[in-house]
Amino acid sequence: MALPLYMDAVIKPNRSMSRRGLHVVLGVMIAFNLMVAVFLLVLGAPPVLPFLGLDVLAVWLALRASFRAAERAERIRVTAEAVTVSREDEKGARVIWSSPTAFTRVGVDQPGEHETRVRLMMSRKRLTLGRALSPPERVDFARALERAILRARSERHA
């Protein structure tokens, strides 16, 4: 028999550029570089031409790293027995936190005006969650996580 889930949340970073947008940006950069290359050839400055592709390469590498980072996800599962957090990247998932629901607390730290941290705590162990969320979303997520843990505890003691 499967345990009921009180929370099964997946947090992923938001990316505003699609793959099509990536191709458009790179296409525009390549077209602009070709126009500059033709202009430089007309002026008689061919030694500059090899350097024109470096900016396209740099932008492509940066956007490729950004798309890889977008594949990362954080999964939080709350059952009556345990709170489990796993972080998934392009290589696979790994569990980084598992603790009994009865002893797990949620803490919200707000050290600065625009900074909020959501933490799972058990004894002296702490784990920061929801780094991909905005500060207001982190507060909402912390409240939802607290409610899920309280419901899971109440089922365990019912």
How does pLDDT run across 57-89, given as a tens digit for each residue?
A: 998 899 888 888 778 889 999 998 999 999 887
Tens-digit pLDDT profile for residues 10-30: 998 887 788 898 899 999 999
Report residue 139 as tokens. Answer: 């507060």
Mean pLDDT of the chain: 86
Q: Could you tell me how many residues make up the chain? A: 158
Q: Over the stretch 31-54, which tens digit does the pLDDT of each residue have? A: 998 898 888 889 888 787 788 888
Given a cut of 70, is residue 158 above it in pLDDT?
Answer: no
Contact partners, residue 82, CB within 8 Å, separation at least 6: 98, 99, 100, 101
pLDDT tens for each residue of 92-148:
768 788 999 889 999 888 777 678 889 999 988 998 898 888 888 988 999 999 999
Note the pTM of the prediction, 2 decimals: 0.72
CATH topology of domain 7-14+72-156: PH-domain like (2.30.29)
For residues 101 and 114, give the distance between their C-alpha atoms in angstroms, rounded to a whole number: 30
